[in-house]
């Protein structure tokens, strides 16, 4: 997430809006964003509704075997169509900003 914040101006210049979905409660997400200096949109999904819709639920994958969301990055066009996905089961593996920017360029 920090690397995406560091490249936010590049995303904005290409007309790409970043949004993250957290399974945490809003107060926790807000504290986290303030602490780390995130300025892009964070949505809260503590009931895992959107997380389930995108098939990202990782049952028992969190601390004390709590449910968490699988790491994933999506490019969704203005019509709401998912155009690109980077999905992994490993919590530490995520797409890099340059990968997402290249994928967006390749979709043009």
What CATH number corresponds to the domain at position 13? Answer: 3.40.30.10
Q: How far is it, in rounded angstroms, from Cα 45 to Cα 32?
A: 15
Q: Is the pLDDT of residue 75 over 80?
A: yes
Structural domain range at position 57: 2-107
Average of per-residue pLDDT across 43-65:
92
pLDDT > 70 in the chain, percent: 100
pLDDT at 61: 86
DSSP letter for each residue of the chain: -HHHHHTHHHHHHTTPPPEEEESS-HHHHHHHHHHHT--SEEEE-TT-HHHHHTT-EETT-SGGG--EEPPEEEEE-TTS-EEEEEE-S-TT----HHHHHHHHHHH-
Claim: this prediction has a pTM higher than 0.75: yes
Name the one residue in this structure whose structure tokens are 């300025």: 39
Q: How many domains does the chain have?
A: 1
- The highest-confidence range among 47-51, 67-71, 85-89, by mean pLDDT, is 47-51
Q: Which of 68, 71, 12 is nearest to 40 (CA)?
A: 12
Q: pLDDT digits over 16-25, tens only?
A: 999 999 999 9
């Amino acid at each position: 997430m920090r690397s995406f914040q560091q490249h936010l101006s590049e995303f904005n210049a290409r007309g790409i809006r970043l949004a993250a979905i957290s399974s945490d409660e809003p107060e926790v997400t807000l504290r986290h964003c303030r602490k780390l200096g995130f300025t892009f949109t964070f949505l809260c999904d503590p009931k895992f509704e959107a997380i389930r819709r995108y098939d990202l639920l990782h049952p028992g994958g969190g601390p004390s075997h709590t449910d968490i969301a699988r790491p994933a990055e999506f490019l969704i066009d203005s019509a709401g169509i998912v155009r690109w996905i980077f999905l992994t089961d490993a919590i530490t593996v995520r797409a890099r900003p340059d990968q997402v920017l290249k994928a967006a360029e390749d979709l043009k």
